[in-house]
Amino acid sequence: MGRLFILSAPSGTGKSTVAGKLLQQVDSLRRVVTATTRRPRPGEKDGVDYIFMTREEFERGIKEGFFLEYAEVYGNYYGTPRDQVERNMKENVDSLLVIDVQGAFRVKEVFPEAVSIFLLPPSLEELKRRMIARGYRDSNTEVRLEMAKKEIPCARFFDYVIINDFVDRAVELLRSIILASRCERERVLGRLDALLHSEDVLSLLKGGRCYVKEA
């Protein structure tokens, strides 16, 4: 079964940039494309950056159970399509979910085994600079900064915390978390036949006795 990784951060911290670079470096990892009712920004493609939906389409999806989680953020709906996550798990491919903080907690309730990672800005001053660079208006920037002050304390409840001071360093740390998780005992022992082609080692792992624990 593929595992679900949740990457969350205050708006403007750089989670989309980090996620994009990560996906280029890690095999068998797919980003779950979030659905939203907000308008596409210049250069964004439907089905690639987001699944763009009308408000009516989104609310119909809510009623039909299309979303694993959803929330209204800054006046627009955002939601995680359930089918993408379930398909990846069946195909033994890891999923990367890039969502806001409240969405991260909701997904963790449904998939408690998911790995949650919080991306912190190096400072509020730097966060504001990044927001302005993204073209947010002054009023919008202040609203997002106030929300960031509420979201940052939530990092205490995530499995891992990464400070995004330098993008490449943040990507490397995130990559390390994902690769290390693939070496966890349950994941390796559950796929021994696919991973290991030595019959003698396979036999010992499956039926041998640990001389320290099982003497």
Mean pLDDT value across residues 47-53: 94
Q: What percent of the chain has a predicted confidence (pLDDT) above 90?
A: 75
Q: Which two tokens stand for residue 34?
A: 């979030």
With cut-offs at 50, 70 and 90, classify the pLDDT of residue 191: confident
Q: Is the pLDDT of residue 101 over 80?
A: yes
With cut-offs at 50, 70 and 90, classify the pLDDT of residue 75: confident
Mean pLDDT value across residues 55-61: 97
pLDDT value of residue 74: 80
Q: What percent of the chain has a predicted confidence (pLDDT) above 70?
A: 98
With cut-offs at 50, 70 and 90, classify the pLDDT of residue 183: very high
SS3 category, 198: coil
Which of the pair, 174 or 195, is modelled with greater confidence? 174
Distance CA 170, CA 162 (A): 6
> What residue type is 26 in one-letter code?
V
Distance CA 120, CA 122 (A): 6
Using a 10 angstrom Cβ sphere, with 0-12 exposed, 13-18 middle and 19 or more buried, the burial of residue 82 is middle
Mean pLDDT, all residues of the chain: 92
In our burial notation (b when 16+ CB lie closer than 10 A, e otherwise), range 118-148 reads: bbbbeeeeebbebbeeeebeeeebeebbebb
Distance CA 211, CA 137 (A): 66
For the stretch 120-177, pLDDT in tens is 999 999 999 988 887 766 668 888 899 999 999 999 999 999 999 999 999 999 999 9
8 Å CB contact between 48 and 42: no
Give, in order, the Cα–Cα distances in Å from 74 to each of 11, 12, 81. Answer: 11, 14, 20
Q: How many CB atoms lie within 10 A of CB 42?
A: 5
What predicted TM-score, i.e. pTM, was given to this entire model?
0.88
Q: Is the pLDDT of residue 102 over 70?
A: yes
Mean pLDDT value across residues 199-215: 89
pLDDT value of residue 133: 84
Domains of the chain, CATH where assigned: 4-183 (3.40.50.300)
Mean pLDDT value across residues 72-91: 92
Q: How many CB atoms lie within 10 A of CB 186?
A: 9
Q: Which two tokens stand for residue 105?
A: 């907690």
The least confident of 27-36, 52-61, 123-132 is: 123-132
Q: Which two tokens stand for residue 67?
A: 């979303």
Which of 132, 166, 128, 164 minimizes the C-alpha distance to 149? 128
pLDDT value of residue 214: 86
Mean pLDDT value across residues 69-88: 92
pLDDT value of residue 163: 97
